[in-house]
Amino acid sequence: MKYHSYNQKGFLDSNSIRTCASFHAKILPDFRAIFRIHDCNSGIRIWNDMNNPEEVKEMINKLRVLGTSALSFANFIEDNYLNETPCSESAS
């Protein structure tokens, strides 16, 4: 198998002063694919071995479900909270 390099990282909201949440996606020379998401307190790491065809499929599925779920949640928040009055203001 030929190694294809991939290394991308960034902040989830580079304009925020309240968070240092970030992601890092990388394929290592030993053919491990790793996707990390971290915030100020904790993190998760999703990984699979790209030498194993079944694990390649698993990694694709994990990332697609994560992406779809995150987009669905963002859409829900946008639809239900973006233009709402905060609870503390409505209680006055």
pLDDT digits 0-9 by tens, 39-88 = 989 999 999 999 999 999 999 999 999 999 999 999 999 999 998 777 76
Is 38 within the bounds of a domain?
yes
DSSP element (H, E) containing 53: helix 53-81
Residue 59: domain span? 6-82
Q: In degrees rounded to 5, what are phi and psi of residue 66? A: -60, -50
Is 20 within the bounds of a domain?
yes
Is 36 within the bounds of a domain?
yes
Q: How many domains does the chain have?
A: 1
Is 88 within the bounds of a domain?
no
How far is 87 from 4, CA to CA, in rounded Å?
Answer: 49
Q: What is the DSSP letter of 86?
A: P
pLDDT greater than 70 at residue 89: no
pLDDT greater than 60 at residue 35: yes
pLDDT of residue 90: 56
Is 87 within the bounds of a domain?
no
